[in-house]
Structure 1
Amino acid sequence: MFIGIAAAVVAGTMLGLYALPGKYTSDFEEENKWSLFFVLTMFVVPLVATFGLMKGVGDIYAGIDSSVLTTMVVASFLWGVGVMMWGKAIDHIGLSLGFSLFIGTVILVGSVLPLGIAISKGQPLPSTPALISILAGIAVVLLGVLSNGRAGLIREADEAAIQAAQGDTEDAATGPKQRSYGLGIFIAVFGGLLATGFNVAFTYGAGPLGEAVVANGNPGWMTAMAVMLPVFLSGGVVMTFYFLFQLSKKKAWGKFKTASFGKNFILIFVMAFFHYAASAMYAFAADSLGANGPVVVYAIFNTTCLVVAVISGILTGEWAKASGGAKRWLYTGLLCMVVGVLVLAVGQVLEQAPVESEVVSNVQLVLGC
């Protein structure tokens, strides 16, 4: 049990910190940083990890129905756009706000979606106590998302007021350092909605791929890796075309030719590794804790991720110019999300869903799905 809980904490910490090294790159535009990150996290790391760790990779995918893979690919395109927007949101509004809004949206949609699917298929809803707990958790998480959105808007006003008071009006509205918090909040929330495409891909692919993974002599938790490979490759195509366009439009290709490239590459590779490894570590943790593993890990992982992201953002000075009011909204939002996640976990315990379905469906929350 200790190993599983420790793995869940490590997974949450890795995802909460994955974007932090990007703050220390130099001589790179946003497009340089994120294009290199997505090449590594969508193509290089998944391919190396899958073929390096999993047995019978070719046989696993050869036996899967083409319609399943097609559905996964289409859903993964949407997820790719969502994750790309997450990166843009972090640049606009910072680590703490970008993470909490994006992941809060993912938790909301990821919790409501199964209920909607059950209703559409005529399936019975969860028991009354479980349904009450789930709806209460959703409501508390929603309050957290709204609270953090309010914190971002107040922080933007605070920073604008400080600039005006200091007479720092040099193109304050159009300067390259200016960030639109309203736009960043919209990007984070809308990206979170699109990122639920990962859940669709898991829903269709986890069953057949899981059977194939085990049949080829792999542990069950590697199902997450088997599903992630086509999802990442498909989502990566979207990002590749987008950043090819952006790098050309902004004439940023030359920025790769910098003396800082080696340092930047290492920092961005750490980002890519943390981003991918968090999901595999989550799946391992859920599998190792037995029947209630996914429920326990769900709460530990999301709570750790949110807390780490907010603390790292505060420590790196993102909220240095924010007023006490903005910080109180931020802390209130974080508290609501942590409590909401725990209440949702209680609802899952009351429902006592089978572990096989829970392991694969909850992995969606790891990479913003």
Structure 2
Amino acid sequence: MFEGVIWAIFAGLMLGLYALPEKFTKGFKYENTWSLFFLLTMFVVPIIASTTLIKGFGEVFGSMPSDILLKMALASFLWGTGVMMWGKAINHIGLSLGFSLFIGTIILIGSLLPFLVDGLPPRNALLMILTGLVVVLVGIIANGKAGLIREKDEKNTNEAEEQQSGGSMTLGILIAISGGLLATGFSYANAVGRPFLHEASQKAGNADWITAVAVMFPIFISGGIAMTAYFAWQLSKKQAWGNFKTASFGKNLYLIFIMAVFHYAASALFAFAAFKLGSMGNTVGYAIFNTASVATAIISGIITKEWVQASTKAKRYLYFGLTCMVVGIVIVAFGNSLG
């Protein structure tokens, strides 16, 4: 179990940092940055990783039952839509709050979905896990409150007026929560597809950790379909295709490729952590993974001065919310040990 917890935390650190390079791109609109990111992380990186690392790639996926593939594809399409909304939420409300609300929602719902596939744990373990998730919920509410207070604080500064042109805090919060609900499809797809893909991967002579790469392939490809359609439409609607012709394209491509690799690797490491955590790995690993990413994103947001105009009251809510989320995950992990 300890190894699984460490991998889940490490995966969360990578996910919490993945969007940071986006702050340093130049000459790109929102649509340029995120369309290129999703193209790389949903298609280029997983295709290269899967075809390179998985022995018997064709046999593993060619023997996959159609009902499992369909369930994974539909759930992953919803996940892709949710992640797309997440990027939009970050544009409205910033990195730290966008992560807190989006991933907090994922923790609450996504941690429970695997029970539909794997079954319920013993009663004492279930009660402890649910208690931990309630504490996480308190943290999510506190983070949302922190964001609303920050918005009010910033309205009195010139910098805030510029930031407000990027979008509404309330709208951003709604997008983040709605996207989080849809993105829980990732947890369900992983729970449904892992058993078969693990067995097929083992038969082909692959190591245990390769199963994580195999699981990510149909999830990312299916999820990428939603994002490709949306951003192709947005690039045309806002006449942003020409923005790819910039002197900063090389630098931007490098930064966005780093984002893509971190995002993909974080998801694959989570799948491996869930395997190491055992029977309740999809639930507990998902919660630990996402909470670690929230903590990392909040710290990154503070370092990059997203909260420099916020009042002490707003920061207190933010820190209280983060503390609740961490404490909640400790309780969830303890509940897993009871199981």
Structure 2 length-normalised TM: 0.92
Contact 2:111 2:286 in 1 (8 A): no
Shift of 1:92: 1.0
Contact 1:76 1:235 in 2 (8 A): yes
CA RMSD, aligned part only?
Answer: 2.6
Measure, in 2, the Cα distance between the counterparts of 1:6 and 1:207.
Answer: 22
Q: Report the secondary structure of 1:259's partner residue.
A: coil
Shift of 1:46: 0.2
Measure, in 2, the Cα distance between the counterparts of 1:346 and 1:295.
Answer: 12
- 2:81 corresponding residue in structure 1: 81
Match of 2:139 among 122, 128, 144: 144
Measure, in 2, the Cα distance between the counterparts of 1:320 and 1:226.
Answer: 42
CA 1:135–1:288 in structure 2 vs 1: closer, same or farther (change >3 Å)?
Answer: closer
CA 1:44–1:102 in structure 2 vs 1: closer, same or farther (change >3 Å)?
Answer: same
- 1:349 corresponding residue in structure 2: 337
Contact 2:110 2:188 in 1 (8 A): no
Measure, in 2, the Cα distance between the counterparts of 1:294 and 1:229.
Answer: 18
2:182 maps to 1:187: no
Contact 2:112 2:283 in 1 (8 A): no
Shift of 1:68: 1.6
Match of 2:127 among 114, 132, 136: 132
CA 1:196–1:131 in structure 2 vs 1: closer, same or farther (change >3 Å)?
Answer: same
Q: Give the aligned residue type for 2:130.
A: L
Measure, in 2, the Cα distance between the counterparts of 1:307 and 1:192.
Answer: 17
- 1:47 corresponding residue in structure 2: 47
- 1:281 corresponding residue in structure 2: 269
Range moving further from structure 2, 101-110 or 35-44: 101-110
Measure, in 1, the Cα distance between the counterparts of 2:199 and 2:130.
Answer: 33
Larger radius of gyration: 1
Range moving further from structure 2, 327-336 or 9-18: 9-18
Match of 1:221 among 197, 206, 209: 209
Measure, in 2, the Cα distance between the counterparts of 1:109 and 1:215.
Answer: 33
Shift of 1:210: 1.4
Measure, in 2, the Cα distance between the counterparts of 1:41 and 1:142.
Answer: 30
Contact 1:222 1:280 in 2 (8 A): no
Shift of 1:198: 1.5
Contact 1:133 1:347 in 2 (8 A): yes
Contact 1:292 1:349 in 2 (8 A): no
Measure, in 2, the Cα distance between the counterparts of 1:6 and 1:216.
Answer: 28
Contact 1:17 1:308 in 2 (8 A): yes
CA 1:241–1:273 in structure 2 vs 1: closer, same or farther (change >3 Å)?
Answer: same
Range moving further from structure 2, 249-258 or 306-315: 306-315
2:156 maps to 1:161: yes
- 2:20 corresponding residue in structure 1: 20
Q: Unpaired runs of 5+ in structure 2?
A: none
- 1:106 corresponding residue in structure 2: 106
Contact 1:71 1:204 in 2 (8 A): yes
Contact 1:17 1:312 in 2 (8 A): yes
Measure, in 1, the Cα distance between the counterparts of 2:114 and 2:222.
Answer: 24
2:290 maps to 1:306: no
Would you say how many aligned residue pairs link Structure 1 and Structure 2? Answer: 339
Shift of 1:8: 4.2
Q: Report the secondary structure of 1:161's partner residue.
A: coil
- 2:218 corresponding residue in structure 1: 230
Map Cα deviations across residues 15-41 of structure 1 (whole Å, 9 max, x no partner).
110000001000000000000000000
Structure 1 length-normalised TM: 0.85
- 2:198 corresponding residue in structure 1: 210
- 1:364 corresponding residue in structure 2: none
CA 1:265–1:283 in structure 2 vs 1: closer, same or farther (change >3 Å)?
Answer: same
Measure, in 1, the Cα distance between the counterparts of 2:154 and 2:238.
Answer: 27
Measure, in 1, the Cα distance between the counterparts of 2:238 and 2:322.
Answer: 36
Measure, in 2, the Cα distance between the counterparts of 1:76 and 1:295.
Answer: 17
Contact 1:302 1:341 in 2 (8 A): no
Q: How does 1:35-74 map to 2 (within 5 A)?
A: 35-74=35-74
CA 1:303–1:176 in structure 2 vs 1: closer, same or farther (change >3 Å)?
Answer: closer
Percent identity over the alignment is 59
Measure, in 2, the Cα distance between the counterparts of 1:295 and 1:72.
Answer: 17
Measure, in 2, the Cα distance between the counterparts of 1:38 and 1:192.
Answer: 17
- 1:366 corresponding residue in structure 2: none
